[in-house]
Amino acid sequence: MSELNSIALKIISSGKGILAADESNGTMTKRLEAVNAKSTPESRLKFRNTLFTSSNMKSCIGGVILFDETIKQSIGSKSISEIVSESGAIPGIKVDIGAKTLSSSKEEKITEGLDGLRERLKEYYKLGARFTKWRGVYTISKSYPSKVAISTNAHALARYASLVQESSMVPIIEPEVLMDGHHNSKTCLDKTSEVIRKCFDELIDQKVDLKGVILKPNMILPGTNSEEKINSETIAKLTLECLIKNVPSEIPGIAFLSGGQSEIEATENLNMINLKNSSNFKMTYSYGRALQQSALKYWSKNQDDTEGTQKVFNHRARMSTLAAKGEWKKELEKI
């Protein structure tokens, strides 16, 4: 087993998932202000450290994705990477610098961050990171995602992945087809399939070791403005159809983003995916909002009640891990 393969498996095995705590300062400020909390480097650290030192980290969280600001912060003499490692999780880092307007298709985005990436990766490795994340973002409409958005983002994702592996870290490949829009689940299935296929074509062309990669896709869902209503069985069936057809079997695992689903929806859908999964892929979570939303709400009103916030987070982590094993039940949500 290669070193990269063993890091990837350590992050996503035994029902463990990933805590995506890598919101940029802009996004984190929006999240904090939405619950009437101040956004400062200190408040962002205080909330995140409360999560990282929660007791269920050990049994549930295999990796934590950090933002540049956080990986450079410390509490007393301990760096955040040390705190994350002590919790039993592997520290990771978001290395893209965000999605910018694509000049040739102005309503679409291209993710930037390749310039100087090799040097930044060396620094992050020294700071303790052993895996990384890069998110490509695609919108669905009548004419989108365009061929150019699909191919330029796939090319960038593969260039990123190759540089990350050169630096002895595991790249998370996140091509996120957004939920926003009027499209139905069939369109989401077709477009997500096209996006994922192109990403793997590029990864293979650029000689990325697929055994040392984690895929972070969206689930197959109808758009948020669609009239279509589908249950978790159909979501699981379509999601598995998409991934089993389009993802090479060498990939050790898949860790879904929550993408605007509620905490319970994201948990229920992941559980159903695992109940129906007939492939060898591990199917787990790499949730941001679906792991943190309730904890953030609680914390915003009780910022010194570490125990209370951790209780809320511990519950979400446990529910998500049960879902990653196909053992979640709605009754367990009552705390």
Catalytic residue IDs: 174, 216
Rule CB under 6 A: is residue 62 a binding residue for ligand 13P? no
The size of the interface with ligand 13P (CB under 6 A), counted in residues, is: 10
Cβ within 8 Å of residue 26, ≥6 positions away: none
Stretch near ligand 13P under the rule CB under 6 A, chosen from 178-186, 233-241, 255-263, 276-284: 255-263
**Chain residues 132-151 in contact with ligand 13P, contact rule CB under 6 A:** 135
Rule CB under 6 A: is residue 313 a binding residue for ligand 13P? no
Stretch near ligand 13P under the rule CB under 6 A, chosen from 47-55, 147-155, 232-240, 251-259: 251-259
Rule CB under 6 A: is residue 61 a binding residue for ligand 13P? no
Query: What is the token pair recorded at 156?
Result: 């960038």
Closest CA to 85 of 62, 67, 55: 62
**Spatial separation of the C-alpha atoms in residues 12 and 244, rounded to whole Å:** 18
124 vs 287, which CB is nearer to ligand 13P?
287
**Chain residues 106-135 in contact with ligand 13P, contact rule CB under 6 A:** 135
Stretch near ligand 13P under the rule CB under 6 A, chosen from 36-44, 245-253, 257-265, 307-315: 257-265
Q: State the nearest-atom distance from the C-beta of 287 to ligand 13P, in Å.
A: 4
Rule CB under 6 A: is residue 223 a binding residue for ligand 13P? no
Rule CB under 6 A: is residue 31 a binding residue for ligand 13P? no
Q: At what angle do helices 41-52 and 25-34 cross, to 10 degrees?
A: 80
Cβ within 8 Å of residue 111, ≥6 positions away: 96, 98, 99, 100, 134, 135, 136, 137, 153, 156, 157
Which one of 212, 217, 252, 259 is in contact with ligand 13P (CB under 6 A)?
259
Q: State the nearest-atom distance from the C-beta of 34 to ligand 13P, in Å.
A: 13
Residue with tokens 């669609």: 226
Closest CA to 95 of 78, 79, 73, 119: 119
Q: State the nearest-atom distance from the C-beta of 304 to ligand 13P, in Å.
A: 26
Rule CB under 6 A: is residue 12 a binding residue for ligand 13P? no
**SS3 state of residue 253:** strand
Binding mask 174-193 for ligand 13P (x = CB under 6 A): x-------------------
Query: What is the token pair recorded at 296?
Result: 């953030």
Q: State the nearest-atom distance from the C-beta of 158 to ligand 13P, in Å.
A: 18
Rule CB under 6 A: is residue 316 a binding residue for ligand 13P? no
Angle formed at CA 150 by CA 148 and CA 152, multiple of 5 degrees: 65
205 vs 292, which CB is nearer to ligand 13P?
292
Query: What is the token pair recorded at 142?
Result: 């009548």
Amino acid at position 268, single letter = E
**Spatial separation of the C-alpha atoms in residues 286 and 218, rounded to whole Å:** 10
Rule CB under 6 A: is residue 220 a binding residue for ligand 13P? no
Cβ within 8 Å of residue 138, ≥6 positions away: 108, 109, 144, 145, 149, 150, 153, 175, 176, 177, 178, 191, 195
293 vs 305, which CB is nearer to ligand 13P?
293
**CB of 40 closer than 8 Å to CB of 46:** no
**Chain residues 273-302 in contact with ligand 13P, contact rule CB under 6 A:** 287-290
Which one of 28, 51, 251, 257 is in contact with ligand 13P (CB under 6 A)?
257
Which residues here bind ligand 13P, judged by CB under 6 A? 20, 135, 174, 257-259, 287-290
